[in-house]
Structure 1
């Protein structure tokens, strides 16, 4: 049921325009915040997941090798004493 009252018609138009403006402001605020975060984090040195995993694997291998060398040293010291 539509009304022919121009006052109600104008109010509906104004409400629709306000809703559209609010939606646009929300998008702009979100995009602006996202851009500020990119700028703020841009100077930081983050590593990629692949780089992190590669260094993690290298550290694990180095730790294993270190343990093997410690066992060899202990065996050599025991042999030298005995």
Structure 2
């Protein structure tokens, strides 16, 4: 039969409390670092993911429209060239 020594129980309680305090400090440091990072990012004037995705869709749509307009211009240029040839 083993009995627990009061000294060992005290040491175990102290260690448990120390680990709890260390975890609390770690959580506070992590929260402070996160808040600081958020402030730095806000100061950098970065866009949000939603804004980026919206702009990406607009750019893709504009690129497609440009491609279609280029095709129309080529067809019109060919028509003008053919009309000039007939006029001669």
Q: Report the TM-score, using the length of structure 2 for normalisation.
A: 0.69
Distance 2:77 2:54 in 1: 35
Deviation at 1:2, TM superposition (A): 4.1
Structure 2 match to 1:17: 17
Kindly indicate whether residue 49 of structure 2 is the aligned counterpart of residue 60 of structure 1.
no
Q: Which has the larger radius of gyration?
A: 2
Q: Which structure carries more relative contact order (alpha carbon 8 Å, separation 6+)? A: 1
> 1:49/1:23 Cα in 2 relative to 1: closer, same or farther (>3 Å)?
closer
> 1:79/1:32 Cα in 2 relative to 1: closer, same or farther (>3 Å)?
same
> 1:69/1:8 Cα in 2 relative to 1: closer, same or farther (>3 Å)?
closer
Structure 1 match to 2:33: 33
Distance 2:11 2:24 in 1: 20
> Over the residues paired in the alignment, what is the CA RMSD in angstroms?
2.0
Moved over 4 A (4+): none
- Kindly tell me the number of residue pairs found equivalent between the two proteins: 81
